[in-house]
Amino acid sequence: MRHWTPTELADYLKSSQSLSILDVREEWEYDIAHLEGSILLPLGKLAENLAQLDSSREWLIICHHGIRSAHAGYYLERNGFHVINLTGGIDRWAREVDHDMSLY
């Protein structure tokens, strides 16, 4: 699994939109702050919904601080997915890239 900092993700998003973004937080967290275009699928529901995700796509996995997304990423890799974990999660993204995003 690769790991990107928020700055690396921001640079990538400026040049391409081909990345699928999977947010593995809970719905109440997603309602506070999320990346536009991301798909919400809480970590606890990932296994039962795996078939709904396209394994031919590259997936950026995010959570609050990067721990749940790392767990999800390892699981997805074991199931044939290509994944990138956002180091520091949505919290670090808000602190380093999108200063208008809500923190919690």
Q: Kindly list the domain boundaries of the chain, sorted by start residue.
A: 2-96
The predicted-structure confidence for 3-48, as pLDDT tens digits, reads as follows 999 999 999 999 887 899 999 999 999 999 999 999 999 999 999 9
Give the Cα separation of 96 and 77 in Å (integer). Answer: 28
The predicted-structure confidence for 36-90, as pLDDT tens digits, reads as follows 999 999 999 999 999 999 999 999 999 999 999 999 999 999 999 999 999 999 9
CATH class of 2-96: alpha beta
Closest to 65 in 3D by CA, of 97, 89, 95, 94: 89
pTM summary value: 0.95
Amino acid symbol at 91: D
Beta-carbon neighbour count of residue 31 at 10 Å? 11
| Structure-token pair, residue 11 | 């640079």
